[in-house]
Structure formats: structure tokens, C-alpha cells
Structure 1
């Protein structure tokens, strides 16, 4: 495949265009990389109870996710700061190989500590693959298809939300969690072998800098500290860890502002930069959406819903994201910015309304109350899905000359950080407001009310940022 393929200017940016002969293999490769990561995320979440029962390590349960997310930040960063002679398709090979090695380590792990090593290697590979999904867009597709390609990736996550728990449930039911990880190994090998043949090299004008090790270390440390803060029981220690994480983030920003070796594109630290506002909007929307991590628990404890049903109800959030992405993919310019704003408002309001629907004691599983709560769960995903593809397109348009790789990789970094910070903040809120002490129904009610009240605020703040998003191909230097 050539590095750039031109289609007629008048061609309609429909999803089917991504599967035309010119783009089919690129679409399959990039979609497969994101699908591998997305499905595995849900499979592992489903398998973790079985893994703990088999080899122990309950105290390390949460770290299977934390270490994966932290490693994915490192992987996505390498895509942007890789050596000049390392092309994007070679990065894809590295990512697929690392993912396969990590899966193999998990499959043969005798202890939970070994599983965590495998999860770290998996996360590193996943960071490569997801970052490349965005970085390759400008090489595989013409500009009119950029937003449509971003929509496809949202659809991949929606599909994975249903496939992952189902596949994981099948393997968990037979206590075959090792086979579930082993299944990913040949898939990873196939993808690594195919990448040089089916993907363009991804070479282009690029500003090369030294690796921003201090910023990377501080960000990963902040993720780890917040994860610790969400799981410790002592309030004083929880507060100290949270403060330390905030300090780490502030120091990272200070270093990034003056460093020659930058993690983000030039000018991104200042809110006067349109690109900075786009990234921050992404981060805030993701922090709010991560309040979904406790939805299954509240459905089971407060509404007497079975674990299987609660899993599929929360999956409606991803379905909402996918449905909105398809609905709004064709919008451009001011209309695209309007749906980003409306979507942020819908996400904020839907999250806040869970305070009076999900945070209710409903031991009889009243269908009407559950139905209303389910609608708001769906709308949380629908809200972020309305604008996500357009935010990605803004990043590609606003990237400074020579820093498109860095700008694209930063999308994945924002996703990882948003997910990590959102989940950690959710843990801190519920553990501080009664989930564990006093616990039970009373604790769950109090925790749910505080959680959805507070985590609606980041999406509300994102509304203000969307009011100043650029229209069209505004220069990044503005």
C-alpha cells in the first residue's frame, strides 16, 4: 500500500468508504489493533476472579488494571519519541510482539506477581497499537475520511464491550483463563507478520527530540499514587497519596513548559492553545465517563440485579458512544463543534441524574426505575460519543508541523490518563463516602450519590472549554 491514496474530493465520507479496495487492509489492521486491546480489557476484567481463585493474590487484584494502564502510557509515548529511523509500521510490529509476549506470560503465570509482569508487557504493547490507530489515520486515509476513521474506532470499542465479557465468561465458566490469554498469542503473531506488508511505512516530516523521561516517570507515578489512594483504608494516608499525585502532575506541567524534550506538541501546556483545550476536553470527558466502573456494583447491591444483567446494562454506555459516533460522523466545522458542546452537556446531565435514579434503594428491581437509570447510562456514553471523533480530527488538524505523530500519540496518552485518573478518583470518592464503612446498602447509597454528583463536574467544565474550540483548520499556533 502506498503512503497516501487520493480519492475524488466529492466522495462522501461514509463508513463503507473505509472498506473500499484502497483502504481495506489498512482499516482491518488498525481496527484489529484496537479491537485486540479493547476485547482483552473486558476479557481480563471478567477473568480476574477466576485467576485469584486459582493462584491467589486478591490483594493485588486492582493492580492488574493499574499496571496495564501505566504501561500503556509508556507505549503510546514511544510512538511519538521513537528514533528517527523507526517507521510507524515497525512500531506496529513491536506493539503486536509485546502484546503477544505479555499474553504468553499471563497464560503460564504460576503466581499473581507473574500475571502482573505479563499485564505490564501487554499494556506496553497495547499503548503502541492504540496510539498507532490514530497516528496512521493521516497515512492510510485522505483528510475527508479522518473523522469517519475515528468513528470506526469508537465502533470497535462498542463491539468489544459485548464480545469481551461474553468471551471472558465462557473461559471463566470452564476455569480456562490460561487458554483465554494463550488465544491472543497467535493473533498477535499474525498481526506482527502482516504489518510491514499491509500498512504504509508511516514516514514523514517529524521533529525528533530526546525522550521526555522526567515527564513520563512523573505521570506514571501520579497514576500509581492515585491508584494506591483509591484502595487504602486510612483517610490520612489516602489524602497524602492524592496530594502527592497532584504534586506530581503539577511538576510534570512545569517541566513540560520549559523542556526541550517534550511529551506533548509545542505550546500544548498553555490554555491559550486550541490544541491544549482539545486535549483537556478529552481528558475531562473521560474522567466523568469512568464513574461507570461502579455501576455494576450499585445495580447489584441497590437494585438486586444479577451480575450478568448488570454487566450488559453497563455495556449500554459503550453502545451509546458507538451510536452517537455514527450519528454525528458526517458533521463538519461549526456543526461539529456544536455537537461536541451538546454531547458534553448530555454526559454531564446524565451523570448527575444517576444521583436520583441509580442511587436509590430498589430491592424489588422496579422495572420503571431501572429503565430510567439505564437510559441515563446510555446517554452518558452517547454524550461523549457525539464529539469524540471530532475532537480527534481537531488534534490532527491542529498539530504543529512535524509533530503530528506526537499529537496523535497524545490522544492515547489522554485516554489512558483519563481512564486511570477517573477510576482512581471514583475509588477515592466511594471509599471516603461510605462504600466500605459503614458499607452495605447505606454505604452504597451515600457513595453513589457523592460519586455521580462530583464526577458530573469534569464534563460540566468541559462544556466551557468547548465554547472556545477552533472552527475548521485553525492553526495550532493560535
Structure 2
């Protein structure tokens, strides 16, 4: 189908045509590497530490992966500009595979941590570069459908990842669960060579901003350390320090000759700036449910791991389902309202979760969880596309690549804030149902308040007519 087709002619089946099937598969596989890897490791790692030891370091396997993935993602646009998309993707995939092999054949927890750090760097660059490629490989009318397809990949990973990893770990070895990434990575590399054109320009002599990348890593590390501190004053100190470091990076980046971010990142008077605030604040608000919901269901209502996990997965199901349902919307005004409705549903869902725990009603809590997933599903694709296409000339790659990186950073920051609230209200020490319920209500109430920031930003987002037309009209 030609790019000159009318927006209303866009169909889901077009993603599977000869023109776009390889690109769709490649980008979805890039998402799958990230999504499945997280679920595979979380399921198999406890068995791994039972064999090789190092249980006191198990949390660092996740922390280092997150920190290095954010640093890798922050450098994604720069690497794409310097070496081209194909080289950046293939190189980062090889780094990811090297990390996978090191972790899979590790004889100590130290080796697992090294492998996880390499996986993080590689996957961070892959995610950022894949986002930057979406507006290059697809006409505007199909972009929302690409995000819908990626949401489906996340939902499949949420269910299939733990199942496959559990079966392999139980019947073969935890190492086999890690090694699933190898064929996926090799297929990704082969598809990259097929669909991503060779870099035709000259390799740019761009200086690598090691100081800013290191500062980003240090800021996220402070966030991660805050989440494991046992002292509330220390947690506050670490979170405040992280905020200062990351804000300083943004300010320094604006004056740099080799910027990592769009020039108007986090400004309060541009579509890109406010849109990035929404991209950050929605995961910050939602992170509390990822960290504490399953644990609370088990401890408060006696749910088993499977039942609690299925309960929590309603978030991913709702996200995927509604991302698919709204992807056919082409009217610019309706898309604008979907973007604003997303944070509204997020706040409503968190408030309903608070209400559900206060009533001691699991079904009310589940309804809140579904609303949160619905909020992400109806808004995330349109929000991401708006930021991509509202970026200034020459800054689209930086704006696009920042989206998955910022999402990961939002979850890290949100987890730290939720942990701070939990320790402040005595959640770890709660031994009675009433105490646990009260602590849970406070944690999710704090998240609701944070969500109000995303809601306000949504209604402040300057969706000018020309911006929405850019989303609606196909590229010529």
C-alpha cells in the first residue's frame, strides 16, 4: 500500500504485508528481547543463586541491568547518528548476547552481574534505536498500530515469560532459561541486516559525553540505592540527590554541542517538553502496583503466587487490548482526548485501588488495576507518536530514543518513592491485616497524588492543530 493512501485506509493487516512485515517483526522482536528477558531472569535467578551462591547480591542483578539499560538508552540516539541504525543495533545486540552467554555460563554471582550489566547496555540501545526507527520505517497512519503490536508482545511476555522460564528451569536448568535469548538475538540481528539500510553517510566524529552518561548512571544508582535503604531520612537524601544529579544533567545537556536529549526536553511550554513529563510521571505513579500489589495480595488476602500474578497481569491485558482497540482512531481531536484520558484513568484506577483496600474488596482493586492498564493502552501510542512528530528539525531521533529510556527511569524512580512511602508507614513491619491494609492504602494514595502531575500535564499538552495534523496525515 502506498504512503499516499488515506489514513482511514490503514489496516492491521498492512503490518504483515511485504512492505512492512519484516520491519514489524524486527521492532517487535527488539521489544521481546527486553520484555522476555526480564521475566525469564526473575523466574530463573532464584534457582541460579541456589546453585552458585550469592543470594545477598540477587537484587543487584536487577539493579545493574536497569541502570545500564537507562545509560545505554540515553546514548542510543547519539550512536545512531554516529554509526547508523544498522551498526548501532547489530553492535548492541552482540553486546546483549555476550552478556547473556556470560550470565548463562557463570560460576559465580559476580559473573552473573557482569553479564546482566552487558545485557542492560545492549538492550537499552536496542530499545532506544527501535523507537527512533518507527517513524522512519512506517508511514504516520501505521505508527499507532505498531505501538499496539508492541503492547501485545508485552502481554505475551507477561504470561509466557514466567511459564517458559519456569518449565526450563524445573526440567532442564536455569542456564537454559537464560539461553533462550541467544536464538532470539541472532534472529534479531539477521532481520536488522535485512530491513535496516546500510549507513550511507560519513561516520560522524561526535565526542562521547562520558560525563553526562556517567552522571545519568549515578543518578539512577542513587534511586536504586534509595529503594533498599532501611532508614527513611537516608531514602529521602538519596532520592533528593538523584533528582539534583538528573536535573543537572538535563541543564548541562542543553548547552552541549553533542546533546543526548531534545533541546526542549522537560520544558513547560512545548509539546515535546510536556509530553516527556507525562511519559515520566505515568510510570512513576504506576510503579507502586508493580512493586507492592502482588505482595499485598499474598499477605493480606492469602493469594498464592499464580493467582496473585494473574491478578496483577490484568494491567498488561488491559493495556494490550485497548492499545489495539484505539489504534484505528484517526481523528486528531479524538487522539488528543485519548492522550488526556490516559492519565485521567491512571489516577482514577489508583484511587479505586485505595478505595478497594479500604473496603477490603479484591474485585474493586482489580477494577482499579484494569483502569490503570486501560489508561496506558489508550494513550501511550498516541503520546509517543506526538512527542516523536512534534520534535524540532533534526531532533526526532533524540526525542524518539528518549521515550523507552524515560519509561524505565520512571519505573525506577517510582519504585524508590513507593519504597520510601512503604518504609515510612511501616509496611515491612506490618504483622496484622489492619496494619498491612493501612500501609498499603498510604502507598497507593501517594502514587495517586503523583499521578495528578501526569493528569495536569495531559491537559496542559499544547496539541496544536498542525501537530495533530502531522500525526494524522501520512508521510509523502
| TM norm. shorter chain > 0.5 | yes
Is 1:89 matched up with 2:89? no
Match of 2:161 in 1: 164
Match of 1:312 in 2: 310
Matches within 5 A, 1:90-105: 90-105=87-102
1:205, distance to aligned residue in structure 2 (A): 12
Match of 1:232 in 2: 229
Q: Which runs of 5+ in 1 are unaligned?
A: 362-368
Match of 2:404 among 402, 408, 412: 412
Distance 1:260 1:245 in 2: 24
1:95-144 deviations in Å (ceiling 9; x for gaps)? 22122111111111122222111111111111122112211112211121
Distance 1:203 1:128 in 2: 21
Match of 2:467 among 456, 459, 474: 474
Matches within 5 A, 1:182-201: 182-201=179-198
Match of 2:334 in 1: 335
1:250 and 1:77, CA in 2 relative to 1: closer, same or farther beyond 3 A?
Answer: closer
Match of 1:461 among 453, 456, 460: 453
C-alpha root-mean-square deviation of aligned residues, in Å?
2.4
Match of 1:324 in 2: 322
More helix by share: 2
Match of 2:474 in 1: none
Match of 1:422 among 397, 411, 414: 414
Q: SS state of the match for residue 69, structure 2?
A: helix
1:344, distance to aligned residue in structure 2 (A): 1.0
Match of 2:123 in 1: 126
Is 1:447 matched up with 2:445? no
1:388-417 deviations in Å (ceiling 9; x for gaps)? 000111022112111221111111221121
Match of 2:301 among 286, 300, 303: 303
Distance 1:150 1:202 in 2: 26
1:290 and 1:190, CA in 2 relative to 1: closer, same or farther beyond 3 A?
Answer: same
1:323 and 1:277, CA in 2 relative to 1: closer, same or farther beyond 3 A?
Answer: same
1:440 and 1:133, CA in 2 relative to 1: closer, same or farther beyond 3 A?
Answer: farther
> Are the counterparts in 2 of residues 282 and 414 from structure 1 also a CA contact under 8 Å?
yes
Distance 1:53 1:295 in 2: 26
1:330-367 deviations in Å (ceiling 9; x for gaps)? 22312111112122111111112212324666xxxxxx
Matches within 5 A, 1:46-61: 46-61=43-58
> Are the counterparts in 1 of residues 281 and 410 from structure 2 also a CA contact under 8 Å?
yes
Q: SS state of the match for residue 429, structure 2?
A: coil
1:357 and 1:189, CA in 2 relative to 1: closer, same or farther beyond 3 A?
Answer: same
Q: SS state of the match for residue 303, structure 2?
A: coil
1:85, distance to aligned residue in structure 2 (A): 5.1
Distance 2:294 2:199 in 1: 41
1:243-279 deviations in Å (ceiling 9; x for gaps)? 2212212322332343333221122242112101001
Is 1:13 matched up with 2:6? no
> Are the counterparts in 2 of residues 286 and 419 from structure 1 also a CA contact under 8 Å?
yes
1:181, distance to aligned residue in structure 2 (A): 0.7
1:202, distance to aligned residue in structure 2 (A): 7.0
Distance 2:332 2:445 in 1: 32
TM-score (norm 2): 0.91
Q: SS state of the match for residue 454, structure 1?
A: helix
Distance 1:341 1:313 in 2: 26
1:452 and 1:141, CA in 2 relative to 1: closer, same or farther beyond 3 A?
Answer: same
1:473, distance to aligned residue in structure 2 (A): 3.9
Matches within 5 A, 1:14-93: 14-82=11-79, 84=81, 86-93=83-90
Match of 1:365 in 2: none
1:321, distance to aligned residue in structure 2 (A): 0.8
Match of 1:256 in 2: 253
Q: SS state of the match for residue 136, structure 1?
A: helix
